[in-house]
Amino acid sequence: MAVVAHATPFARAARFEASPAAADSRLVKWLIIGISLTFFTCFLLLPLVAVFVEAFKKGWEAYLRAIVEPDTMSAVRLTLLAAAIAVPLNVIFGIAASWAIAKHDFRGKQFLITLIDLPFSVSPVVAGLIYVLVFGAQGWFGPYLLDHNIRIIFAVPGIVLATIFVTVPFVARELIPLMQAQGRDEEEAALVLGASGWTTFARVTLPNIKWGLLYGVILCNARAMGEFGAVSVVSGHIRGQTNTMPLHVEILYNEYQFAAAFAVASLLALLALVTLVLKTVVEWRAGIQAQEPEAP
């Protein structure tokens, strides 16, 4: 998934097709393309199209009404808030972790990388559950929080925490391989020339990792705004208060307000499309940046 990995230009296909040894017969070629595209259409393209078709089934006016409805707007605000807290925190974590891991040697490095990946392999439902066990009424801090009238579970802080948990690895796992590949020479040179640690980071490291960082931020943000399972466990589903956009989609859908559910869902689908476009642009820019040193 790393930026560097598949920034390869598309010119490769031509080379494979030009070689008589590696080229497949026309029949095989179109058969494979046909099967691939049928699979792609049934499982990826049509679901995306269906979101927009269903959203506009009752016309523009119904669509707009579903979007400007107060509960929808409050869900949009909560989703933006959760992402606005989770993404910057995970950026700081990602930069710190990749600096420690890529620019220094220590024992147990591989183990630390595995721990950072952990939230990816934990079910979102379990991710929500653990915060209920820690902060819920019966949880570790439950009595204390109750005494001090602080609500975390079934309130906004729980939603933010769950969002942070599921997005922890995104920035770190883009930056670690990138910074490892870039080595330490440039930073060491800057230090020898008298730059301070912070200056070295800001002037040398940051420009080198900016596309990888942006890539991680884009993916992190998409997941933060779209998370459903973890947030669903800690939210309590209070309309207008603890509903994020994905949770609001579920509520509308379960109330058989299909057009409204798909209208809100279409906003999230639009976010997904913007994410994919930005991601492609960043890959393209990063690809150009990565190829520069190869020029003779």
Partner 1 sequence: MGVAKVRRVLPGFGLSMGVTISYLSLIVLIPLTAVFFKSATLGWTEFWHVATAPRVMASYRLSFGASLIAAAINVVFGLMLAWSLVRYNFPGRRIVDALVDLPFALPTAVAGIALTALYAPNGWLGGFLEPLGIKVAFTPLGVLVALIFIGVPFIVRTVQPVLEDLDIEFEEAAASLGASRLQTIRKVVLPALAPALLTGFALAFARAVGEYGSVIFIAGNMPMVSEITPLIIITKLEQYDYAGATAVAAVMLVVSFILLLIINALQAWSARSSERTR
* Contacts (CB under 8 A) with partner 1, residues 246-275: 246-247, 249-250, 253, 258, 261-262, 265, 268-269, 271-273, 275
Please tell me whether residue 158 binds partner 1 under the rule CB under 8 A: no
The terminus-to-terminus CA distance of the chain in angstroms comes to 28
SS3 content of the chain, % helix, strand, coil (to 5): 75, 0, 25
In the bound complex, what is the minimum distance in angstroms from residue 219's beta carbon to partner 1?
Answer: 7
Which of 158, 212, 216, 226 lies at the binding interface for partner 1 (CB under 8 A)? 226
Among 10, 27, 149, 293, binds partner 1 (CB under 8 A): 10
CB of 1 to partner 1, least distance (A): 6
Among 16, 146, 180, 239, binds partner 1 (CB under 8 A): 16
Cβ proximity to partner 1: between 65 and 103 the closer is 103
In whole angstroms, how close is the CB of 113 to partner 1 at the nearest point?
9
Look at residue 193 and give its three-state secondary structure: coil
The answer to whether 124 and 227 have CB atoms below 8 angstroms apart is yes
Q: Is 6 helix (H, G, I), strand (E, B) or coil?
A: coil
Within positions 96 to 155, which residues make up the interface with partner 1, using CB under 8 A?
96-97, 99-101, 103-106, 110, 112, 114-126, 129-134, 136, 138-140
CB of 296 to partner 1, least distance (A): 21
Contact flag: residue 32 with partner 1 (CB under 8 A): yes
Task: State yes or no: residue 91 binds partner 1 (CB under 8 A).
Answer: no
Interface residue with partner 1, options 54, 151, 241, 287 (CB under 8 A): 54
Give whichever of 164 and 217 is closer to partner 1, judged by the CB atom: 164
* Residue 228 binds to partner 1 (criterion: CB under 8 A): yes
- Take residue 81 and report the two structure tokens written for it: 């808030």
Measure CA 197 to chain center.
30
Piece of 65-73, 181-189, 209-217, 285-293 that binds partner 1 (CB under 8 A): 181-189
Cα–Cα dist 122/127, whole Å: 7
Q: Is 171 in the site for partner 1 (CB under 8 A)?
A: no
Q: Taking the complex as a whole, how short is the minimal distance between the CB of residue 257 and partner 1, in angstroms?
A: 11
Spatial distance between the Cα atoms of 241 and 238, rounded to a whole number of angstroms: 5
DSSP assignment string, 263-292: HHHHHHHHHHHHHHHHHHHHHHHHHHHHHG
CB atoms within 10 A of CB 128: 26
Task: Identify the residue among 82, 85, 93, 235 touching partner 1 (CB under 8 A).
Answer: 93
- Which amino acid would we find at residue 138? Q
* Separation between Cα atoms, residue 7 and residue 179, nearest integer Å: 17
Residue 182 in tokens = 């870039």
- Stretch near partner 1 under the rule CB under 8 A, chosen from 58-66, 68-76, 85-93, 208-216: 85-93
Work out how close the CB of 64 gets to partner 1 at its nearest, in angstroms, rounded to a whole number.
Answer: 19
Which pair of tokens denotes residue 264? 């809100």
Residue 76 and residue 245 in contact, taking contact as beta carbons nearer than 8 Å: yes
